[in-house]
Structure 1
């Protein structure tokens, strides 16, 4: 009975450690994504994403209506690469909530977005990722954008 308990205990400890390691890997991947984003490195950004990635944004318009927009990832990459060097932009991340379920994961991150050191908007990024051949790839990215409630 003691051997069974010990084996079970060690197995569950390994699972817990493995889950924490996966969470660290996912956080590092997202941090690397934003490092490439700030560097306007469209090649690196492309490598983080699955070829069939989907992108959407949920925003509140001037009349207070909630809107949904969809953007092709290639359009996003072109727009990032075309930002003039004179424009400074920074997306500050405010923590990570990471959930893993076998071969898929969800990473949710509140953020504040600054243009030329002035707060532009804030919201939450939600990344959906898929693990294939031992590698995590972003398959869906949705964010919220609002000027309300930003600090």
Structure 2
């Protein structure tokens, strides 16, 4: 019985370590995505997503109604590349909550967006990823955007 418990304990530990390792790999893709985003490196961005990535944003319009906007990834890339080099922007990820099941992962990342050193808005990113050929790629990204109820403690 002791041997069975020991084997079960070792297997459980190995599973947890593998899960943690995959979570770390997913987090690395997201960190790399934002690094490329800030550098306006569209080649690197394209390498981290699937060909059929879906980009959506949820916000509230002037009338207080919820709006779901879908963006084309090609248009997103052109917009990123066209930001003048003298303009500064940073999306600061405040936390990571990552779940992995086999070849699928979800990451929830609250953020603050800063433009020209000034707070612009906050929200949450929700990433869906797929592991294909031993590499995690983003298949879906939806974010929320708001200006109220933001924790603006961070300035750097």
Class of the TM-score when normalised by the shorter of the 2 chains: over 0.9
Per-residue deviation, residues 24-71 of structure 1 (Å, max 9, x unmatched): 111111111100000000000000001111110001112211100001
Q: Note if contact 2:29-2:137 (Cα within 8 Å) is conserved in structure 1.
A: no
SS at structure 1 position matched to 2:40: coil
Alpha-carbon distance in structure 1 between the residues aligned to 2:46 and 2:148: 31
Paired position in structure 2 for 1:82: 82
Alpha-carbon distance in structure 2 between the residues aligned to 1:113 and 1:46: 22
- Equivalent pairs counted in the alignment come to 151
Paired position in structure 2 for 1:98: 98
TM normalised by structure 1 equals: 0.97
TM normalised by structure 2 equals: 0.94
SS at structure 2 position matched to 1:31: helix
* Runs of 4+ displaced beyond 4 Å: none
SS at structure 1 position matched to 2:63: coil
Q: CA RMSD for the aligned pairs?
A: 0.8
Q: Is 1:47 matched with 2:47?
A: yes
